[in-house]
Amino acid sequence: MTALEPSPGVVRALMAADVASPTTPRIEPLQPPSVPRSSESRASGSEPEPPTQPAQPAPRPSTASLPAPRSRGGAGIILTSPREGLQLTPDDPPVVVVEGEVEDASISTVTLVANGLRIAIPVHAGRFRRALPVLEPLVRLRVEAFVNETTRRSSTVTVHSTAGAQFGVIVFDWPTAGDGPEVEVSATWRANPERLDGPTQTAVMKTIAGVDGRRGDAFYLRMPKPGAYTFALRSRSAVATEEIRSTFYFPVAGAVAQRDLEPFSLSGGGRRVLTRFLLPHGVFWDQDDWFSGHSEGVDTVMKFRFPDGISWVEGKAGPR
For the cut 60, the answer to whether the pLDDT of residue 259 exceeds it is yes
| Average pLDDT of the residues in 296-320 | 88
Predicted pLDDT of residue 241 = 78
Quote the CA–CA distance of 166 and 214 in Å, as a whole number. Answer: 28
Quote the CA–CA distance of 268 and 266 in Å, as a whole number. Answer: 6
Q: Closest by alpha carbon to 225, among 168, 274, 290?
A: 168
| Average pLDDT of the residues in 155-173 | 94
| Longest CA–CA separation in the chain, Å | 111
The predicted model scores a pTM of 0.73
Predicted pLDDT of residue 22 = 43
For the cut 70, the answer to whether the pLDDT of residue 248 exceeds it is yes
Predicted pLDDT of residue 53 = 41
Residue bearing the bigger pLDDT, 267 or 124? 124
| Average pLDDT of the residues in 18-34 | 45
Domain made up of 55-163: CATH architecture? Sandwich (2.60)
